[in-house]
Amino acid sequence: MLQALADAGPGSAAGAGAPGGGADAGTSAAGLTASALADRLPVTRQAIAKHLAVLEAAGLVESRIVGRERRYRALGAELTALGRRLERIGDAWEARLGRIAAIAKELERG
């Protein structure tokens, strides 16, 4: 879902008239509607709306009202920062698991 939002951002192919893109599909510099995302993804509009609410509460997407529609866009800087944090967490777990593996090998030699 985040990829679909990012793909529809300003200057993207989806936002510039690619199949499934353009104003008719709910794309613009303001982002995508939940309905436009549902057209692109194998998920119901209701499920997408619930996910978007959670992502917005987490600060990873933002929405704005355009006419009668609520449009969403991914916040690239926030997603990048989250990716870096998750990478650091993953690295820490890899180090821990490496230490556990070393202890297990030492115990086997015992």
Based on the fold, state whether residues 70 and 90 are members of the same structural domain: no
Please count the residues of the chain.
110
- Check whether residue 36 and residue 90 sit in a common domain: no
Q: How confident is the model at residue 9 (pLDDT cuts 50, 70, 90)?
A: low
CATH number at residue 69: 1.10.10
Cα–Cα distance, 41 to 25 (Å, whole number): 13
What are the pLDDT digits (tens) for 51-109? 999 999 999 999 999 999 999 999 999 999 999 999 999 999 999 999 999 999 999 99
Range of the domain at 93: 76-110
Structurally, how many domains does the chain consist of? 2
pLDDT of residue 24: 40
Q: Are residues 68 and 80 in the same domain?
A: no
Produce one character per residue of 71-110: b if its CB has 16 or more CB atoms within 10 Å, e if not.
bbbbbeeebeeeeeeeeeeeeeeeeeeeeeeeeeeeeeee
Is the same domain home to 16 and 45?
yes
Mean per-residue pLDDT for 27-43?
85
Long-range own/partner contacts, residues 45-50 (CB < 8 A, 24 or more apart): 48/1
Q: pLDDT value at position 29? A: 59
Residues 58 and 92 grouped into a single domain: no
> Are residues 69 and 85 part of one domain?
no
The pTM for the full model equals 0.66
Average pLDDT over residues 11-26: 41
**Judgement on whether residues 60 and 45 belong to the same structural domain of the protein:** yes
